[in-house]
A and B are shown apart, each in its own frame.
Chain A
Amino acid sequence: MEWLIIVSFVIGYLLIVFEHPLKLDKAIPALFMGIFIWSVIALNHMPLIDVSGDHGTTEAVAHHLGKITEILLFLLGAMTIVEVVDAHHGFSVITNRIRTKNKTHLLWIISALAFVLSSILDNLTTTIVLVSLLRKLIYRREERIWYVAFVVIAANAGGAWSPIGDVTTTMLWIAGKVSSVQLIINLIVPSILCMAIPLIVASRMKIFKGNLEAAEDDEGYYSSKSSGIQSSKIMLMVGVGALVFVPIFKSVTHLPPWMGVMFGLGIVWLVTEFVEPELDLDEQDRMKYTLRHALGRVELSSILFFLGILLAISGLESLGILKDLAVKMDAIIPSQDLVATLIGILSAIIDNVPLVAAAIGMYEVPLDHELWHFIAFSAGTGGSMLVIGSAAGVAAMGMEKIDFIWYLKKISGLAALGFLGGCIYLALVNYLRAA
């Protein structure tokens, strides 16, 4: 029966990869495949590696559900906090400070900002915030998309080195594969390299010479969020505070990260109930700023997508298929650094969440093993090499209609330089440590 499971996983996965041409929401095949795989396991009473006995399947499902929910609740909490900060125009506090007209300066400032922001927020939000900002600063689209591309690179690089910066790094952290301090110490340098190398190269390019033409002020929706309101500053501080608090909560209480996020969400929610966004608000306008409204804007379909895909992978894991795969890969590719680099390159083509989930199921190495750090880096930044390779890229593509081919021709090379630079650095460190 194992073949049926593998076949359904492959078919489901193909449907997910071809989401856009098929015009089929990827949550549908993900959910269906996740449940289908477990149904086959349950109906055939297939032997599982992590449990035994009559109630084995139910027990295994309950165990995996707990693990998956930890990730889903973390994401749900973080997404809601970011949404509510955005509803209060909180990010305008940061973006309003940018005043330079020099193109090279602006490139460095925007990239550094994206790097730092995305180490706290998710990469998608960082990209959306900064692309909205760029629309106001740079009038000509042909010029702007260069900056947007660097936002994508910087957001991905910035997310990789912090436990709350990116879904895949967060997954490794929640699963107890990496610890906050070790992760930051090991990955901060390669992440900076990953952004700095392309930046240094780009600074010498013709497109980033000279000064910007004055931008027009009025750009409809996107400029509406540029003006701060009374509550912008306080909501930004409370929201970012709640997110930064999560690793602290974990180290003080030793409770799982999702509880820290939910606690933070409770506090942020409490603050939104008492904060006054504007003077004399009527009930109708007040709704816009409530947490309930922010909850309605959270992308629940991506949460359900994660549920489905993680469930499917947990099925493969429980059957021992992932372990077999790891053994085979180790036999073919002798160096684990190379395996991790390959995962990064693969993540440019396929979704990095299932990739990392599979890697977690494949390898039995201890907390803070160099392999986990390497995977956190490569799965987080490898996606920059194609515009469809990361959530940040897809968002930028949607907002600015960036062409797949344009990105491949102009940006992919730069992103690859940064990615490989970071990988070589990590491999070198591992080599020196072993020697």
Chain B
Amino acid sequence: MEMLVIVCFIVGYLLIVFEHPLKLDKTIPALLMGILCWTFISIGGLNVFGAEEAGHHDVNNVVLHHLSSIAAILIFLIGAMTIVELVDLHKGFAVITNRIRTTDKRKLLWIISWLAFFLSSVLDNLTTTIVFVSLLRKLIRDRNERIWYVSFVIIAANAGGAWTPIGDVTTTMLWIAGKVSTYLLIVNLAIPSVICLALPLFIASFLKVFQGQISSMHSADSRDLEREKLLSSKTMLIAGVGALIFVPIFKTVTHLPPWMGMMLGLSIVWLISEYIHPEEDFSEDRRHKYTVRHALSRIELSSILFFLGILMAISALESLGKLAQLAAYMDRVIPNQDVVATVIGIMSAVIDNVPLVAATMGMYELPMDAKMWHFIAFSAGTGGSMLIIGSAAGVAAMGMEKIDFIWYLKRIAWLAAIGFFAGCLATSLIHLILHEA
């Protein structure tokens, strides 16, 4: 039966990896494999870690325990996605993006990149990318020029997400599971994350593409941008971002899990949205467009269900002790844990980083804020920049701008790699200075 669980996981995982060529939504294999793995465990009467004896009563308790940890992540994500979606419905991000006025190419690159960096430390990387790609479409006419900027948005969004507990799914997972604390995470990873973006930016400033002025930006366009704002844009942006930043504060004060802070934030933002007026005298019909109900219908529930499936499958492997065995094996083959974490980062460019981080959490029994956890938060968050398909931000950009896999590999991958490896080195060094000197 144990074989069956492993085979089921591998087959399911292959179906997920080949989602695009197979044209099969990855949520399907994820859900089926998550449930099937546990079904085999339950029917086969396998011994699971955490249960006192084999038997379905104890298996159910283990499942309940895992479900509770998974739900903490899923509800957090639903809350964050809804808040961001709502701010977007009220055109809240226009408040920020409307301020960009420069036409100097290099200057624009730096402004866009750092804005994306800081925005993605609060919002998820996917939203940051979508906001900035939409903005870039208005600023730069020429697509061949634009995709260079889009690529840097990807690098910046991934780098910016790594160093805050609310910036990225994988970092959030480590935070919710109690593997990292807000303060130490920021202290340890802020500098590597900055380096991970700054180094590629610095090199790119010397590239020919980023010299001179942007040719095709009309002043009429910027007036269009101005008009896009609504009466409620500013309030909703402040309320939404405030609710997200409030989450770590809520955790510190009450010691309650982050998803509760997120739900409290959502209920307050929801309340505000019920009383705000996005436009002067508007009808019931148009009002619907700006409601939380509308925002709720726009969030990607399928990715929530994907996470549910994949995390259930990994929890099955964890409960069987497979992940601990894998960790022991990796420790034997690769003696240095920094190298392991770097390898995880490189792997995350090829496969989804959520299962990767979930697996490492099941593999290693290390205390809170151990070096390994910070390293993984950094590498799994930024390693994906090295391939266009390596991160949610990259996939979104690919979809929006039809960026070619090979083009990205030739032009951008090396820049991202320099940033990634420099960041890894910095993480190692900072830890040395902070904790061992």
Bound pair (A, B):
yes
Give the interface size bracket for A toward B: 35 or more
Contact B263 A308 (CB under 8 A): yes
B332 within 8 A of A: no
Q: Give min CB distance, A5 to chain B, whole Å.
A: 14
A254 within 8 A of B: yes
Q: List 19 A-B contacts (CB under 8 A).
A: A27-B270, A28-B270, A35-B256, A61-B256, A61-B257, A63-B64, A65-B68, A66-B65, A68-B71, A255-B38, A259-B63, A260-B35, A266-B35, A270-B32, A273-B25, A295-B301, A298-B301, A304-B263, A308-B267
Contact B260 A38 (CB under 8 A): yes
Contact B298 A263 (CB under 8 A): no
Contact A300 B296 (CB under 8 A): yes
CB contact between B308 and one of A34, A63, A262 (< 8 Å): that residue: A262
B215 within 8 A of A: no
Residue of A nearest to B260 (CB): A35
B28 within 8 A of A: yes
Q: Give min CB distance, A306 to chain B, whole Å.
A: 12
Q: Which residues of B contact A62 (CB under 8 A)?
A: 65, 68-69, 72, 257
Contact B75 A269 (CB under 8 A): no
Given known A38-B260, A67-B64, A269-B25, contact A297–B297 (CB-CB < 8 A): yes
A365 within 8 A of B: no
Residue of B nearest to A296 (CB): B297
Contact B28 A25 (CB under 8 A): no
Complex Cα distance A86/B43, Å?
A: 34
Q: Give min CB distance, B229 to chain A, whole Å.
A: 26
Complex Cα distance A256/B36, Å?
A: 13
Interface of B is mostly: helix
Q: Which residues of A contact B59 (CB under 8 A)?
A: 254-255
A24 within 8 A of B: yes
Contacts A70-B64, A270-B32 supplied; 17 other A-B pairs, CB < 8 Å: A32-B264, A35-B264, A36-B264, A39-B256, A57-B256, A61-B257, A65-B71, A65-B72, A253-B42, A253-B43, A260-B35, A267-B32, A269-B25, A292-B302, A301-B293, A304-B296, A308-B263
Q: Give min CB distance, B31 to chain A, whole Å.
A: 4
Q: Which of B34-75 contact A (CB under 8 A)?
A: 34-36, 38-39, 42-43, 56-57, 59-60, 63-65, 67-72, 74-75
How many pairs of A and B residues are in contact by the CB < 8 Å rule?
Answer: 165
Q: Which of A299-342 contact B (CB under 8 A)?
A: 300-301, 304, 307-308
Complex Cα distance A222/B256, Å?
A: 47
Contact B60 A254 (CB under 8 A): yes
Complex Cα distance A255/B64, Å?
A: 10
B274 within 8 A of A: yes
Residue of B nearest to A31 (CB): B267
Contact A38 B75 (CB under 8 A): no
A69 within 8 A of B: yes
Q: Give min CB distance, A53 to chain B, whole Å.
A: 13
Q: Which of B64, B267, B268 has the most CB of A within 10 A?
A: B267
A46 within 8 A of B: no
B111 within 8 A of A: no
Contact B60 A256 (CB under 8 A): yes
Complex Cα distance A256/B66, Å?
A: 13
Q: Which of A1-37 contact B (CB under 8 A)?
A: 23-25, 27-29, 31-32, 34-36
Contact B64 A66 (CB under 8 A): yes
Contact A262 B256 (CB under 8 A): no
B27 within 8 A of A: yes
Q: Which of B210-259 contact A (CB under 8 A)?
A: 253-257, 259
Q: Which residues of A contact B292 (CB under 8 A)?
A: 25, 301
Contact A35 B38 (CB under 8 A): no
B187 within 8 A of A: no
Q: Which of B289-343 contact A (CB under 8 A)?
A: 292-293, 296-299, 301-302, 305, 308-309
A185 within 8 A of B: no
Complex Cα distance A260/B56, Å?
A: 15
Q: Which of B68, B72, B263, B266 has the most CB of A within 10 A?
A: B68
